[in-house]
Amino acid sequence: MTLEFIPTDEQGKPLHEVEYTVKVYTGKTSGAGTDANVFINLYGEKHDSGERPLKDSADNMNKFETGKLDTFKLMAIDLGKLVKLKVRHDNKGIGAAWYLDKIEVVDNRRKKTYYFLCQKWLAVGKDDGQISRELIPVDKSVLEKSIGKKDGARQDVALEIKAAMTTYYTKVVTGTVSGAGTDANVYMILYGDQDHTDKMFLKSSMTYKNKFESGHTDEFILEAVNIGKLLKIKIGHDNSGLLGAAWFLDKVIIDAPSLGCSWTFPCNKWLADNKDDCQLERELFPQELETVEYNPCVPYEIKTYTADERGAGTSANVYICLYGKEVITEEKPLCSKRERDGKFKRGKMDLFTVEMEDVGDSIEKLRIWHDNEGLTPGWKLDKIEVRKLHDSNKGSDTYVFQCGRWLARDEDDYSTSRELIPDQKLQEIMTSSGQSKVKEVKLRDKLKKKIYEVSVFTGDESSAGTDANVFLNIIGENGDAGERKLHKSETHMDKFERNHCDVFKIEAVDLGKLYKVKVRHDNSSFFKSAWYLGKIEIKDPTDNEVYVFYCERWLAKNKDDGKIERSLYVKGYTGEMGSSTGSINTMKYGSSLSLDSMKSSKSPRMSRKQMSMASSIVGIPEGEQPVSYKISVATGDGDDNGTVSNVYVDICGPKNKHTGKLFLDKEKFEPGCTDCVTVDALDVEDVRKIKVGHDGTAPGTGWFVKSVVIDIPSRGKHYLFNCGTWLARDKSDGKTERTFALDDGVSTVTSYKPMIPYECTVITGDREKAGTDMQITLTLFGTSGTSSPLILEKTGNRFERGSEDLIKLDIEDVGPLKKLRVETSGKGSRTSWYLEKVALFNMKTGEKTNFIHDDWLNKEKGYSKDIPAKIRGKEALDKTSYKISVKTSNVRGAGTDANVYVILFGANGDTGQLHLDKSETYKDPFENDQIDVFTFKDMLSVGEMSKCRVWHDNKGLGAAWHLANIEVEDLKTKKVYKFHCDKWLSTKEDDKQIVRELTCGTSSTPRSPGNKEVINYELEVETSGVDEAGTMHHGWIVIDGEKGTKKYKMHNSKVDKKLRRGTTNTFTFSCKPLGKLKSVTVGACEREDIPVGNANGKEAQWLCKKLSITDTVSGDKYVFSVNTWLPISEEAYDLADGKKVKVKAVEKGHIAVVRNLAAIKYEVIVYTGDVSGAGTNANVFITLFGEHGDSGKRPLKQSFRNLFEKNQVDKFTLECLDLGELIKVRVEHDNSGFRPGWFLEKVEVVNQGTSAMSEFQCHRWFDKDKDDGQIVRDILVAS
C-alpha cells in the first residue's frame, strides 16, 4: 500500500492534486501479456509520484494482454515536467513475462502528453532478464518514425533514448578460490549521487554462456536514467541453483562512458549462507584511486549497408573508428559476438548505437575494418551513415560515407580495412511547430585520399625471410592509417624473403607528415616465422617525399629480444620515443586542411592514482626546485604479504613540510620482493618521518611492509625505515596507514657524498646496423676523481640507428669532466654499435660537455673506448704512447704462463685494462730475470701517474709469478715512472694474492731541449658575476714561488673569448719548477685591436673573483682570493696597477696522497642468508670504495671450498692501497651455474692494519627471477 500525504502552503491550505492518465500499450509479440502485478513511478522536475500499482484498467478486465491498451488514472501532487518513469512487475503469476510497447502519460492539468517508448521484455527469462525498466520521454515527432512498424521499431529512436539514458558497462569478476562460482540468480542495485535503481538481475552475460564461473569475468549492460555518478552498489543473489549457490566475488568494474568515469568496487568475499559471515548481499564502495576519469562519450547511430550481390555479406566482426578535427575515437566493435547473428547480410541495412568520444562539430573521416574471422569473412560495403545528435539533443547531423568496395583478402586490393571521407552531410532540425526538417549542408575542406607506396626491405642475414603474416600501421601528424596486413607484394610473389624489397600500396586519408610506423607479424609460420627487417620506406604520392624508418633488428620469438612487434621512428625524429609528440629536424609542419592538432588525439583515461602521480610536482611552491627521491619498499615473505592495492609514501621534513602522497607506480607488490621507483617531488630538506599506506579496504588487500628506503642522491642521504608490520583492514589493528619516524630506534640514516644530477644524451650514428642490444656502461673521469661505472638500461628504442636518447643519471661529483669511458658487454644478438656522441649536461652548474666518438665499438675496434671531453672545440686530454717495461724477479719459479694485465692511474683517471700479451723483447714473456717491454700507442694521457694495478688470471701450468718492478715511460713527455713490487702474485705463495697495487716510488722528470727541468701548471681564473665584471682585454699574472717567478698573459680575442662575466677559464703553461707558491700579482692590459682610449669606470676595469694554480706533478692546488676591480693598463705586468695576494689555501693533490698510501690487507666476510635457496653456484665479485679510490673488481674465490651456501660465512683477504674510510661496496655475480640465485645477508670488511670494521647490510636477493631482478648491488656502509 502506498499513502501520499498532500503538503500544504504557509496558510495550511492543501496544494492541489493533478490527475494523470496513464495509457499502457502491451506489445503484439507472441506471449507479450502478463499476469504479474505492475507498478509505476512518475518522476518530474519537482517531485516523484512514488511507486503506484496499476490495478483497475478502464479498458479491460483482464489487463496487460497482447496488443491491448490499458488506461489508468493516477492522482499526485503536481510533479512538474515529467523526466522519466519507472515501470516494473513482481514476476508473479503463471505468465509473468511481459513485452511492453510504450506508455503514454497525460498531464490533464496542462493538457500535455508524454510518450515513453519501451519495446522490450520485462522478463527474467527473456532479453536481458530485467523485470524493471526506466523510460524517458521521446518527442512525438520522433515516435512517429515507428508508427505502422512492427514491434522492434525502438531502434529508430535508439540514438535519442541512448542520449537520455546512462549505460553502465558492468564487469563482474568471480574469484579463483575453490568453489567460487555460483548458479544462483545475481542482482545489482546502483546508487548514484542523484538516485538509485531497483534490483537489476544480471541475466545475459556478453562473455560467457555459463556465467559466474570461477575465474570468469562476465560483462553486462545496465541502463538507468539520471542517477548520477556512482557512490556505491549492492550486489547479491537469491541462493538458488542445483549445483551450488555460494559465490566468491572478487570485484565489480563499472564503466559509464557518457559520464566519463569508471569505478572499481573490490569485494574479495563470499556471498553465501554457509561461508564467511553468511551474507548473501554485499554493499560495495569504489576504490578511490582506481576510479578512472576521461572525457565523456556521446552516442552515435551507425547504419551499415551491405551490397546486394553474391557473397557480399560477412561472418567477420566489424570495427569502426571516427576522426574529428582534434579527436580520434577509440576503436569500437559495432556489436558484440552475442549480438552478431543476422548482421551484415547481403542487401541488408544494420543499425547500431555506439558510445564513443565526442569528435566535435564535424566528422572528418572514418575507418571501418573487420577481423577476417568466420567461414565467409569477405564483405562488400555499399555505404555507411553516421548520425550524431546536436548538443541540444534537438536535431542531428547525418554523415553519408560512400564505399562500394570489398573488404576482403581475395577481392579488390585485398584489404580488409577502408578509410572513408564523407560525401554528404544531412542536417535535421526541429521547427517551432515540433516537426523535423532535413536539409543538405555543404562539406567544406574535405580531406583527400592518398595511395602510399610502402617498400619493405628484408635484411641480408641468414634466414632473414619470414612466411608469417606481416601488419603495418602508418602514423602521421594527422592521425594513423590503422593496422593493415601487407598482403600482396607488387615486386615478389614470395614476399619478405632475404635481401628482397617488397612494395605495397596502402590507401588512406592524408596522414600529413609521417613520423612513426608500427610493424609486426603474427608468428603464424611453424617453420619460418623469424624475420630480420632492414628498413621501411614510405613514399607520399603528393610530393614524392620518402620517409625512411630503420629497423635492422629481428622480429622473432627466439632471437634478439624476443619481440615480434616494433615501433619505428622516421629518420631525423627527435621527439620522445613512445609518445605521439616530437619533432623532425628537417621538417617544418605547416597547417593542414584538417586534423591539424591530432598529435594528442585519443582521450586519455587516467585513474585518480595516475593523476596524483602526474601532479606530484604541481604543488611545489614557485621558486623551489623538485628533488628526486629513490623509494624502495620491501614486502614481507609470507604468501599473503603482497597486495594489489595502490601504495603511497608521504615524506615529511621539519616545519610540517611534506611531499604529499607519492603513489608507487606498480600493479602488484609481490611477497618477498623489493620494488623501486624514482619520484620527483617537493624538497623537504631533512627527512624526519614517512607515512606509508594504501587504499585497499577489502579483505585480502592488506600489505605487510618489511622496510622502506628513501634515498636522496642530490643530498647524499640514505634513510632506512624498518617497518615490519601489517597495513590491512582485516589484520593487526586494522590500519592501512602508518607513520614511521627516524627516532623510533630501529630506523637509520646514512650520509654519503652528494651526487650530481646529469642529463645524458646518447646519439647512435645513422649507419647500417648501427644499433645494438649490448649492455652499455659509462665511467666519468674529472678533475676530482672517477665515478662508479653506470649501466645504461636498454629500454624501448634506445641505442637504435639514428636515435638520440636522453637519460637522467645521478653521478658522483668528479669535478669538471675530462674524459668518458664507454664500455659494451660484447654480448647479445647485435654486438656492434656505432656511437656518434655522448653529451652530459650538469644540471647543477649548467655546464654541457660533449664526448665525440663517431666510430664503432665492436670486436674489431674494441668493446671499450676512452673519449676525451671536447671543450670549446678542443680535446681536454692529449694523446700519448706508453712504454711499459716489466721486470720478473730472479728467484726460483718466478716466471708465469698466466695472462698479465695492468691499469695505470694518474691525474686524468686511468688507462683501463691493458693486456700485456705481446712482448717486444721476448717471445715467451714473464720468464725468470727477464724484462718484457710492451708499447701502447695513441692513448689518452693519464697525466702525472700515481699508482698501477697489476694482476694475472691464474691460468696455465705455472701461474705463480714473482714481480720485481714495472717501469712506465710516457713517450710524449719522456717522463719515466717506477713501480716497485718484489712480491709474489700467486694463490699459493706469500700472502696468496694475485692482484697488487703499486705506488709510484720514483719518477724522472724530462728535460727541455736546453736540458732544463720543466713541469706543467694549470691556471683557473674565475670572473665575478656582477654587472660589467668581465673584460674583453687580456689578463696577466706574475707567480712567486720558493724556487722562482713566472709571468703569464691570459689572451683574449674575438674568437676565443675569455674573462667574461660569471665565467671560469682554464689556462695551461710550462716552466721550470717554482716550488711552493707564495703569492701572485694579477692584473689586466689592453688588447692591441681595441685600445681602452677614453673609457673610464667599470668599462675600463676587470673584477677578478679568485684564481687557483695546480702543480700537475704533485697535484697540489694553490687558491688565491682576489675580489678586486683591476684597471686595464697599457702594458702587461705593470705591478703598480696589479693586485698582489698571498696563498689562501693549499689543497693537497690526489697524486701526492695516493703515492704516499701503503698497501693494506682487508678481510672480507660474506654472510649468506638463512632462507630457502639462499646459496649460489655463480662466481661472486666485490669492489670496495673508499675516500681514496676503489679496489677494482675482485673475484671472491677459495680453493677446495664450497662457497656461499645457505647460512654460511665465507672469509677472503684482499690487498690494495689504503682506501681510507670505506663508503660502499659493490657486490655482483655472473649468473653462471645451475643455481645462480643468491640471498646475501651482509658483508663485513675489516682493515687488518687498524682492525676497523665496516658493515654493509644487504638482506636482498641477487637473482634474475626474484626481488627486483638485479644481480649487481651497491651497498652503503652502515651508520
Looking at the chain, the whole-number percentage of residues with pLDDT higher than 90 is 63
Q: How far apart are CA 960 and CA 983, in angstroms?
A: 11
Residues 85-95, mean pLDDT to the nearest whole number = 91
- Is the pLDDT at 147 greater than 60? The verdict is no
Distances (CA, A) of 1268 to 455, 633, 848: 42, 11, 33
Most confident of 698-702, 991-995, 1091-1095: 991-995
Burial 249-282 (b: 16+ CB within 10 A, else e): bbbbbbbbbbbbbbbbbbbbbbbbeeeeeeebeb
> What's the pLDDT at 729?
87
Cell of 1229: 655475480
pLDDT confidence band for 97 (50 / 70 / 90): very high
**Residue of 714, 627, 697, 705 whose CA lies nearest to 669:** 705
CB 934 within 8 A of CB 922: no
Burial 323-334 (b: 16+ CB within 10 A, else e): bbbbbbbeebbb
Looking at the chain, the whole-number percentage of residues with pLDDT higher than 70 is 93
> What's the pLDDT at 1070?
87
Of 476-490, 849-863, 967-981, the poorest mean pLDDT is in 476-490
End-to-end CA gap in the chain: 77
What is the separation of C-alpha 131 from the centre of its chain, rounded to a whole number of angstroms? 47
429: which strand partners? 437
Type of residue at 1151? I
**Residue of 761, 785, 756, 757 whose CA lies nearest to 840:** 761
**Residue of 411, 335, 391, 400 whose CA lies nearest to 366:** 400
Q: What is the pLDDT of residues 549-601, one digit of tens each?
A: 999 999 999 988 889 999 999 988 877 665 433 333 333 222 233 333 343 34
Domains and CATH numbers, the chain: 1-151 (2.60.60.20), 165-293 (2.60.60.20), 297-441 (2.60.60.20), 449-592 (2.60.60.20), 618-751 (2.60.60.20), 755-872 (2.60.60.20), 879-1004 (2.60.60.20), 1015-1153 (2.60.60.20), 1157-1276 (2.60.60.20)
Type of residue at 226? N
> What's the pLDDT at 1169?
94
Q: What is the pLDDT of residues 187-236, one digit of tens each?
A: 999 999 988 998 888 988 888 888 999 999 999 989 898 898 999 999 99
> What's the pLDDT at 215?
94
Q: How far apart are CA 734 and CA 589, in angstroms?
A: 58
- Measured from the Cβ of residue 41, the count of other Cβ atoms closer than 10 Å reads 17
Sheet with 1209-1217, strands from edge to edge, namely: 1209-1217, 1159-1168, 1238-1247, 1253-1262
Residue 806: CA count within 13 A, CB half-sphere: 7
Please state the length of the chain.
1279
> What's the pLDDT at 198?
86
> What's the pLDDT at 148?
52
> For the chain, what is the mean pLDDT?
88
> What's the pLDDT at 599?
36
- Measured from the Cβ of residue 297, the count of other Cβ atoms closer than 10 Å reads 22
Residue 740: CA count within 13 A, CB half-sphere: 26
Residues 256-283, mean pLDDT to the nearest whole number = 92
> What's the pLDDT at 13?
62
3-state secondary structure of 467: coil
For residue 1022, count CB atoms less than 10 angstroms from its CB and return exposed for 0-12, middle for 13-18, buried for 19 or more.
middle
Q: How far apart are CA 678 and CA 437, in angstroms?
A: 60
> What's the pLDDT at 93?
87
Residues 497-519, mean pLDDT to the nearest whole number = 94
Q: What is the pLDDT of residues 811-828, one digit of tens each?
A: 999 988 999 999 999 988
CB 159 within 8 A of CB 396: yes
Q: How far apart are CA 1084 and CA 1037, in angstroms?
A: 9
- Is the pLDDT at 762 greater than 80? The verdict is yes
Q: What is the pLDDT of residues 12-39, one digit of tens each?
A: 666 678 999 999 999 999 999 999 999 9
- Is the pLDDT at 2 greater than 70? The verdict is no
Q: How far apart are CA 68 and CA 233, in angstroms?
A: 37
Q: Which region, left, alpha or beta, applies to residue 411 given φ > 0 means left and ψ of -120 to 50 means alpha? A: beta
> What's the pLDDT at 1176?
95
Ramachandran angles phi, psi of 259, nearest 5°: -100, -10
977: which strand partners? 968, 1003
Q: How far apart are CA 428 and CA 437, in angstroms?
A: 5
- Is the pLDDT at 438 greater than 60? The verdict is yes
Q: How far apart are CA 409 and CA 418, in angstroms?
A: 13
Q: How far apart are CA 478 and CA 325, in angstroms?
A: 9
The pTM assigned to this predicted structure is 0.74
pLDDT confidence band for 1239 (50 / 70 / 90): very high
**Residue of 1125, 1051, 1046 whose CA lies nearest to 1085:** 1051
Q: What is the pLDDT of residues 113-145, one digit of tens each?
A: 999 988 889 998 887 788 888 998 887 766 665
Q: What is the pLDDT of residues 972-1015, one digit of tens each?
A: 989 999 999 999 999 988 888 999 999 997 655 554 455 567 78
Sheet with 137-138, strands from edge to edge, namely: 69-77, 17-26, 98-107, 112-122, 137-138
> What's the pLDDT at 114?
93
- Is the pLDDT at 62 greater than 80? The verdict is yes
> What's the pLDDT at 582?
38
> What's the pLDDT at 591?
27
> What's the pLDDT at 142?
60
- Is the pLDDT at 428 greater than 90? The verdict is no
Q: How far apart are CA 933 and CA 918, in angstroms?
A: 9
Residues 926-948, mean pLDDT to the nearest whole number = 95
**Residue of 461, 361, 436 whose CA lies nearest to 142:** 436
